[in-house]
């Protein structure tokens, strides 16, 4: 019997999971540890148990659904992604890797396959940086990239500590217990939408990721002096928002002039205080996201940005507090897993494109403790992190089939 994917079931599950949202459809908002996130997790766990998988959650809220192999002592073959979603997102980011991973396992079960190496579906906790300011908290803790102490210091925008929030959400135990032994996984494969336009532009239905770009993020607090919008004359002002505006353009220019298209910088958050039309902004907080496929170049652009911001601050007689939130190395995917994916594509007569992931993913951190690779499917116009994010059913099914084939080969 040939390996097959139940596309109708998978697509309907993607629609159901999208209904767990704090935004009006078609947008999806599902912030980690909110009641909506917990309902989505419960729904996911019930589906994993229905498939006969042994489900557990760790102290950080990472969820593991294991299909026990015939050799329980053998290192595990992992797959999975995340189900938390940034505000006003789409329904495929992360979800395709989680529900596709579950359907890949069910397809192998229907096919009568019995793994030697246990196959484990992971739902990583807090992949998005929305709530605690840093992405991939679950996979950072699993890989030891983030210490338990550093994680405990993380707070959300309302000042709630990660430790309190996770315990209130029902995740007890100590964060020290989250880290996995370095030989836990034999391999880890993540299926994900590309979140870029290359596959669609080149009309290729699968991408095999060879490298995951190096993400960094920082917060810049700009402090000027406020005052009355009518009473303070222009020469006397130290307007924090005007300084921020110049800094934002300097950040953009640093990325545009890095010498390569591979450097990207974004100011995604600009909080203005006091935020009154007739009061001069006295404080502005910028959150900056900076990435590059090359670590050295990313760090050079980071220092160009820092120099520019401090000189603007001097010029405008404002001060800045500079906070580096994270600056991670890129990850090279493992040739053995890339080969397994390429072989599966060939077996299913599917062309693929070898490519870099410009988005970061939990695989970036699992790569610190295991051989990983990623499988991309196209998304329309490359759109992601927006409600019109869209992956075609045939691409989702094809990616899931190739994932299933690869899990079979890696776990036999």
Q: Which residues bind ligand HGY (CB under 6 A)?
A: 127-128, 135, 359-360
| DSSP 8-state secondary structure symbol assigned to residue 370 | S
Rounded to the nearest whole angstrom, what is the least distance from the CB of residue 379 to Mn ion in the complex?
Answer: 11
Rounded to the nearest whole angstrom, what is the least distance from the CB of residue 37 to Mn ion in the complex?
Answer: 14
Judge residue 277's burial from the number of C-beta atoms within 10 Å of its C-beta, 0-12 exposed, 13-18 middle, 19 or more buried: exposed
Contact by Cβ (8 Å): 222, 284: yes
Find, among 338, 300, 93, 122, the residue nearest to 214 by Cα: 300
Answer with the entry of ligand HGY, Mn ion, none that 360 interacts with (C-beta below 5 to 8 A by kind): ligand HGY
Contact by Cβ (8 Å): 101, 80: yes
Cβ neighbour number for residue 135 with a 10 Å cutoff: 28
Rounded to the nearest whole angstrom, what is the least distance from the CB of residue 221 to ligand HGY in the complex?
Answer: 22
Rounded to the nearest whole angstrom, what is the least distance from the CB of residue 68 to ligand HGY in the complex?
Answer: 31
Complete DSSP assignment for 134-164: SS-HHHHHHHTSS-HHHHHT-B-TT--BHHH
- Cα 225 to chain centroid distance, Å, stands at 37
Contact residues toward Mn ion (CB under 5 A) are 93-94
Question: Would you say 37 or 128 has its CB closer to ligand HGY?
Answer: 128
Query: Tokens 């959300």 correspond to what residue?
Result: 156
- Cα 46 to chain centroid distance, Å, stands at 24
- Cα 299 to chain centroid distance, Å, stands at 21
Question: What is d(CA 388, CA 386) in angstroms, rounded to the nearest whole number?
Answer: 6
Answer with the entry of ligand HGY, Mn ion, none that 120 interacts with (C-beta below 5 to 8 A by kind): none
Question: Would you say 86 or 334 has its CB closer to ligand HGY?
Answer: 86
The region, left, alpha or beta by phi > 0 then psi within -120 to 50, assigned to residue 52 is left
What are the CA-CA distances from residue 38 to residues 34, 53, 103, 196, 290 (Å)? 6, 19, 21, 29, 31
Rounded to the nearest whole angstrom, what is the least distance from the CB of residue 219 to ligand HGY in the complex?
Answer: 16
Answer with the entry of ligand HGY, Mn ion, none that 135 interacts with (C-beta below 5 to 8 A by kind): ligand HGY
The region, left, alpha or beta by phi > 0 then psi within -120 to 50, assigned to residue 112 is left
Question: Would you say 121 or 264 has its CB closer to ligand HGY?
Answer: 264
Question: Would you say 128 or 405 has its CB closer to ligand HGY?
Answer: 128
Question: Would you say 136 or 404 has its CB closer to ligand HGY?
Answer: 136
Rounded to the nearest whole angstrom, what is the least distance from the CB of residue 135 to Mn ion in the complex?
Answer: 8
Rounded to the nearest whole angstrom, what is the least distance from the CB of residue 197 to ligand HGY in the complex?
Answer: 15
Question: Would you say 54 or 269 has its CB closer to ligand HGY?
Answer: 269
Question: Would you say 120 or 362 has its CB closer to ligand HGY?
Answer: 362
What are the CA-CA distances from residue 11 to residues 2, 103, 111, 283, 406 (Å)? 21, 10, 20, 46, 21
Question: What is d(CA 18, CA 96) in angstroms, rounded to the nearest whole number?
Answer: 11
Question: Would you say 326 or 411 has its CB closer to ligand HGY?
Answer: 326
Rounded to the nearest whole angstrom, what is the least distance from the CB of residue 360 to ligand HGY in the complex?
Answer: 4
Q: How many angstroms separate the first and last alpha carbons of the chain?
A: 17
Question: Would you say 62 or 344 has its CB closer to ligand HGY?
Answer: 62
Rounded to the nearest whole angstrom, what is the least distance from the CB of residue 98 to ligand HGY in the complex?
Answer: 14
């Amino acid at each position: 019997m040939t390996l097959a994917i139940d596309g109708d079931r998978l697509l309907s599950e993607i629609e159901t999971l999208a209904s767990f949202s704090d935004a009006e459809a078609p947008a999806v908002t599902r912030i980690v540890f909110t009641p909506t996130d917990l309902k989505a997790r419960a729904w996911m766990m019930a589906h994993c148990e229905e498939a006969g998988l042994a489900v557990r959650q760790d102290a950080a809220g990472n969820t593991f659904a294991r299909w026990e192999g015939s050799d329980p002592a053998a290192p595990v073959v992992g797959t999975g992604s995340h189900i938390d979603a940034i505000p006003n997102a789409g329904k495929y980011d992360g979800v395709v890797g989680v529900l596709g991973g579950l359907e890949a396992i069910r397809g192998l079960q229907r096919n009568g396959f019995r793994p030697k190496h246990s196959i484990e579906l992971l739902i990583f906790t807090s992949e998005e940086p929305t709530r605690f300011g840093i992405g991939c908290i679950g996979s950072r803790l699993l890989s030891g990239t983030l210490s338990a102490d550093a994680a405990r210091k993380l707070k959300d925008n309302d000042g709630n500590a990660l430790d309190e929030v996770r315990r209130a959400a029902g995740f007890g135990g100590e964060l020290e217990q989250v880290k996995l032994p370095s030989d836990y996984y034999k391999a880890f494969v993540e299926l994900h939408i590309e979140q870029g336009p290359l596959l669609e532009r080149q009309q290729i239905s699968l991408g095999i990721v060879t490298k995951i770009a190096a993400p960094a993020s920082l917060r810049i607090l700009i402090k000027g002096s406020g005052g009355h919008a009518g009473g303070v004359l222009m020469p006397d002002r130290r307007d924090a928002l005007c300084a921020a505006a110049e800094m934002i353009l300097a950040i953009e220019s640093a990325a545009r002039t890095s010498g390569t298209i591979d450097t990207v910088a974004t100011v995604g958050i600009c909080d203005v205080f006091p935020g009154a039309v007739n009061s001069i902004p006295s404080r502005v907080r910028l959150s900056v996201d900076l990435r590059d496929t090359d670590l050295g170049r990313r760090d050079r652009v980071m220092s160009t940005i820092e120099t520019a911001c401090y000189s603007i601050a001097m010029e405008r007689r404002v001060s800045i507090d500079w906070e580096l939130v994270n600056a991670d190395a890129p990850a090279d995917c493992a040739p053995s897993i890339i080969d397994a994916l390429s072989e599966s594509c060939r077996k299913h007569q599917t062309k693929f494109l070898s490519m870099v992931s410009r988005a970061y993913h939990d695989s970036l951190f699992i790569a610190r403790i295991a051989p990983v690779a990623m499988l991309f499917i196209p998304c329309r116009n490359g759109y992601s992190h927006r409600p019109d994010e869209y992956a075609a059913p045939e691409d989702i099914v094809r990616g899931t089939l190739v994932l299933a084939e690869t899990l079979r080969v890696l776990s036999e």
